[in-house]
Amino acid sequence: MSVESVQVAVRVRPFNSRETGQNSTCIIRMNGPTTYITNPDDGNEKDFNFDYSYWSHDGFIVDENGYNTSKGAEPSKFGGVYADQQAVYDSLGAQVLENAWAGFNCCLFAYGQTGSGKSYSFVGYGANKGIIPQVCAKVFEAKEQMESANLQIQVYVSMLEIYNEKLRDLLMPQKEQKELKIRNDKKLGTYVEGLKRAAVGSYKEIEKCIDTGTNSRTVASTQMNATSSRAHTVVTIRVVQTVTEEGRKKELGSDLNLIDLAGSERAESTGATGDRLKEGAAINQSLSALGNVITALAEQANNPKKKVFIPFRNSKLTQLLQNALGGNSKTIMCCALSPADINFEETLSTLRCAGRALRAPFGRNSRAIRLRNSLTRLLLPQVRRPREADQAGGGGAGEPDR
Catalytic positions, please? 115, 117-120, 260, 263
In the bound state with Mg ion, the residue whose beta carbon lies nearer, of 118 and 238, is: 118
Q: In what order do the strands lie in the sheet with 45-49?
A: 28-31, 34-38, 45-49
In the set 59, 93, 117, 213, which binds ligand ADP (CB under 6 A)? 117
In the set 116, 331, 365, 376, which binds ligand ADP (CB under 6 A)? 116
Tally of CB atoms within 10 A around 294:
24
91 sits in which H/E element = none
Binding flag, residue 225, ligand ADP (CB under 6 A): yes
In the bound state with ligand ADP, the residue whose beta carbon lies nearer, of 176 and 268, is: 268
- Sort 185 into a burial class: Cβ within 10 Å, 0-12 / 13-18 / 19+: exposed
Q: φ, ψ for residue 274 (rounded to 5)?
A: 55, -130
Residue 336's region, left for phi above 0, alpha for psi from -120 to 50, else beta, is beta
Compute the least distance from the CB of residue 62 to ligand ADP, in Å.
9
Binding site for Mg ion (CB under 5 A): 118-119, 229
Tally of CB atoms within 10 A around 232:
26
- Give the one entry of Mg ion, ligand ADP, none that residue 241 binds, where binding means its C-beta sits below a cut-off of 5 to 8 angstroms depending on kind: none
In the set 48, 101, 120, 163, which binds ligand ADP (CB under 6 A)? 120
In the bound state with Mg ion, the residue whose beta carbon lies nearer, of 107 and 259, is: 259
In the set 79, 103, 115, 355, which binds ligand ADP (CB under 6 A)? 115
In the bound state with ligand ADP, the residue whose beta carbon lies nearer, of 76 and 382, is: 76
In the bound state with ligand ADP, the residue whose beta carbon lies nearer, of 199 and 281, is: 281
Number of residues that bind ligand ADP (CB under 6 A): 18
Number of helical H runs and strand E runs in the chain: 13, 18
14 sits in which H/E element = none
In the bound state with ligand ADP, the residue whose beta carbon lies nearer, of 98 and 260, is: 260
Binding flag, residue 228, ligand ADP (CB under 6 A): yes
Binding flag, residue 276, ligand ADP (CB under 6 A): no
d(C-alpha 91, C-alpha 138), whole Å:
14
Interhelix angle for 131-146 vs 94-101, to 10°? Answer: 40
Identify whether the C-beta of residue 234 lies closer than 8 Å to the C-beta of residue 84. no
Binding flag, residue 14, ligand ADP (CB under 6 A): yes
Identify whether the C-beta of residue 315 lies closer than 8 Å to the C-beta of residue 290. yes
In the bound state with ligand ADP, the residue whose beta carbon lies nearer, of 14 and 363, is: 14
Identify whether the C-beta of residue 155 lies closer than 8 Å to the C-beta of residue 239. yes
Compute the least distance from the CB of residue 60 to ligand ADP, in Å.
8
Identify whether the C-beta of residue 284 lies closer than 8 Å to the C-beta of residue 264. yes
Binding flag, residue 80, ligand ADP (CB under 6 A): no
Binding flag, residue 61, ligand ADP (CB under 6 A): no
Single out the segment in contact with ligand ADP by CB under 6 A; choices: 11-19, 160-168, 285-293, 303-311.
Answer: 11-19
Binders of ligand ADP among residues 305 to 364 (CB under 6 A) are: 336
d(C-alpha 92, C-alpha 297), whole Å:
22
In the set 5, 6, 9, 13, which binds ligand ADP (CB under 6 A)? 13
Single out the segment in contact with ligand ADP by CB under 6 A; choices: 113-121, 155-163, 200-208, 367-375.
Answer: 113-121
Closest residue to ligand ADP: CB criterion: 117
Compute the least distance from the CB of residue 118 to Mg ion, in Å.
5
Q: Over the range 251-290, which residues count as b (16 or more CB within 10 Å of their CB) and which as e?
A: ebbbbbbbbbbbbbbeeebbebeeebeebbebbbbbbebb
Binders of ligand ADP among residues 182 to 201 (CB under 6 A) are: none
Sites of contact with ligand ADP (CB under 6 A): 13-14, 16, 56, 68, 112, 114-120, 125, 225, 228, 263, 336
